[in-house]
A and B are shown apart, each in its own frame.
Chain A
């Protein structure tokens, strides 16, 4: 067998019969990107000297964190039994926040490689992504990865996988993305087992946009999967949803560098450049057709991802507000999931209320804003969205706790999720306890194998999106995994807790909590602030209140000494510089009534202690 194809099939002139489109899906960290590396190497599209680990994780933030955030599609040649094939591989992210990336990728494929870490077994996102693939009617190739690890248990997990998908444990391929073992066989199996794409080459073109990315040098680059017909360079195309038309300045395939081609035909995956400057003109989910020979019916689109958590983002230096606005506009170009609108906080000044898919998404966005646009930001404690019905039947959507109406509320609804937790059965008790304390409602429990259990719960989003996963991990010594998706809403007994400094409400610290948890929030926040706010020339009471009822109270005693005892040997310059520094420091203080609160205190009070590790699931 000579794996590397001698003659790679040429785009636009490739018979759909020799095309195989697949994505690699898995739980986070099970090795998708590393397996993709081996495929890039074996098929020869990346030369050994250019190779680096997780080649397709190109964004700085992906490399820093060692996780995939955006899907990447690559066309690779492969030869089997003397025939050449064109493979389109899409590496997908594993983190639950980016599930929508996976669904988009699946729509461009006929098959999926379901990868499972042979030392970990099936985990929550394995199931979630498998079900997504099944809903899309894809052919699944189950594969165990990391068989080089001493802790690998390929036999056991092969049985689990076979159990899950149906089939024979013998048919589960065993590979190592690290050593490359089994990867050739996997590529062969992809060619043999996955169906070729089908479409009508003579019909008007229909191509599904599954990604749209803004690039400073090339403008908007749109990734498509052609279903019917053909797209050619220089022709005019039309976006079916808006009827807007553009000229195709460039069309090609990623291999993995962009390679212009003579067009794209049925079943092919590639990119288009039309010169548009805004990804919203080239929207994910839209269908591209020929302007002169338009298709009658578009392909089904995707639902826009819905933001799950909201947080206020404020520049520490108020004059950076326009920079933040432009920066959000730019990030939005590549991130359809990002939504934001301006808001003002009495304590923090001008900023934006921003919606995110989850905490990791929040953190990554914030980090990119800071790193790529040189901003210093404060982000307020994240919250979910509430629907509040007033006594006069008016309905409000509350994305910011400080907008929660005072009194006259007849009903509050909070978003719910259905969650799946996978864990060894010894932990069932403690997991049930945790879910119970988070107002969870058990929906079912299944044994995936003798010792591994799947628990299904319906829970309030607010209860799981912040520290639930940390708790789960620590209670199960890291063995449990979690997946969740939105699942309607429910009426709940919620209250708004306000924090007052010297009687002045600090909007940035208001929170909506379940009534039973209001007290502990109040105690936590007031004592945290007592530590963080420096003493003032007068006593500062810190209170937590529900409406006018005080539920927790702390006190910052008045400062009694603020004077340097001595001025050394006439070194007045030193004393003056100290004074100038203090005056400068004062500019970084936010005034809450008469109370000076340092920016750092806001940041520290609003950030959970170890949010960094938290988001990585």
Chain B
């Protein structure tokens, strides 16, 4: 998650939630996100809340981390109960980072076990961890699978050495197919993350990366356009002219290439940046974000959402550990969304996924905008006539503009 936290209302020390959080909860899936804020080195483009030091202060160092996190899980169970939320088993669990697999697999397993003991897992629950290709071994993957993990998402980014170099990625591209094979052998589903539009990446480079990802035969592929985040090393390099800048037209061309190649290889899009081999291979945890489901985000800087109440934890691992050590909720701020804001978010999120947005969920102005969106070939006409706003390929590339037009007042 980005290093800068949003501005919101203060969150209470006991973490208790406003009544709104419980409304209709029984009808929504409940998920868990676990943030692991450690990496071996920081990639030049990355502004996630992650740290390369092993020692971050009491309770926040890598070897104490799983214990600290489990304290938050205990607090979470208490808060949910005291805020009158119904007991719900977890539909998905997602370990993200940072690099979760920098911790011993047994630590990840311990956190999952703790979550399971507090809430239980739905039958067929999806349990994912992100991983760097060079931070896993056949043994570690085995341990994860045994502990109940079902899925691993590798940060492949590119198959081309000079592109990986600009991205500061340290792994050997040869390592990716190997890691995928180990994961498969352990019985895990596999996803690969790719980044396109890196300065210096040619169209041929991008095609090579796509082909190489497809050749690994994963179940799922995410392809992200490189975002140059303020304050990153990459942003400074571009500003100083050491590295060329990024270009939206290049991004658009590469997105179109990705969609075509992935479709030809049997992957269908289901969210602007995500493709899956079958509907069953879609990342349900990722979809929970777009569908407005409930999730608890544990770990420093993690974001949570329950029934239109959003909150986020303090950012620094030391501050986070300190709060938990003194029995105080790590929440730093929160927002209780009113009906109008929830409606706006609904349009903003639902439009990005293949389910699409029901036209009946739009205001009068939004409905008026639909004809124009069809005329501009941004939404699928047949779906629109059947009552659903679903983006075309061109529409996916202009999704934010589509949302603005749907929300015009």
Q: Enumerate chain A interface residues (CB-CB to B < 8 A).
A: 537-538, 557, 559-577, 579, 582-583, 586
Contact = CB atoms under 8 A, between A and B. Distances in A.
B397 A562 contact: yes
Nearest to A568: B1
Contact of B289 (A537, A567, A583): A567
Interface stretch (B111-119, B198-206, B247-255): B247-255
Contact of A579 (B252, B295, B297, B348): B348
Contacts of A560: 248-249, 252-253, 397-398
B302 A569 contact: yes
A565 B222 CA distance: 10
Task: Indicate the member of B96, B297, B303 with the most A CB atoms within 10 Å.
Answer: B303
B335 interface: yes
A538 B375 CA distance: 12
A206 B95 CA distance: 93
A573 B400 contact: no
A586 B404 contact: yes
A562 B391 CA distance: 13
Contact of A563 (B249, B272, B305): B272
Interface of B: 1-2, 4, 6, 8, 33, 35, 48, 96, 224-225, 227, 248-249, 251-253, 255, 272-273, 289-290, 295, 297, 301-305, 310, 312, 335, 341, 344-345, 348-349, 376, 378, 396-401, 403-404, 407
Given A538-B376, A569-B33, A569-B35, A574 B6 contact: yes
A583 B404 contact: yes
Contacts of B310: 572-573
Given A537-B376, A563-B272, A575 B248 contact: no
A537 B398 contact: yes
A569 B398 CA distance: 22
Given A568-B2, A583-B407, A576 B227 contact: no
Contacts of A537: 376, 378, 398, 401
Task: Indicate the member of A560, A565, A567, A570 with the most B CB atoms within 10 Å.
Answer: A570
Give the top 5 A-B pairs by smallest Cβ distance, nearest first: A569-B1, A560-B252, A563-B399, A565-B225, A573-B6
B350 to A, nearest CB: 12
B225 A569 contact: no
Nearest to A538: B376
Contacts, number: 105
Task: Indicate the member of A562, A563, A575, A586 with the most B CB atoms within 10 Å.
Answer: A563
A529 B4 CA distance: 35
6 contacts: A537-B376, A537-B398, A562-B401, A563-B399, A567-B289, A567-B290
A270 B109 CA distance: 93
A572 B225 contact: no
A566 B1 contact: no
Contacts of B255: 561
B398 A563 contact: yes
A566 B255 CA distance: 14
Contacts of B378: 537
Given A559-B248, A577-B6, A579-B344, A570 B397 contact: no
A537 to B, nearest CB: 6
Contacts of A557: 249
B6 A566 contact: no
A485 to B, nearest CB: 51
B303 A576 contact: no
B218 to A, nearest CB: 18
Nearest to A577: B6
A355 B335 CA distance: 52
A443 B301 CA distance: 78
A530 B254 CA distance: 25
A572 B1 contact: no
Contact of A570 (B305, B348, B403): B305
A42 B348 CA distance: 74
Nearest to B97: A569
A538 B4 CA distance: 34
Nearest to B250: A561
Given A560-B252, A579-B344, A573 B404 contact: no
A568 B304 CA distance: 12
Nearest to B47: A568
Contacts of B96: 569
Nearest to A535: B248
A571 B305 contact: no
Contacts of A574: 2, 4, 6
B282 to A, nearest CB: 16
B398 A561 contact: yes
Contacts of A567: 289-290
Given A570-B295, A579-B348, A564 B305 contact: no
Given A562-B398, A572-B303, 12 more contacts: A538-B376, A560-B253, A561-B248, A561-B252, A561-B398, A565-B225, A565-B227, A567-B289, A569-B96, A569-B303, A570-B305, A586-B404
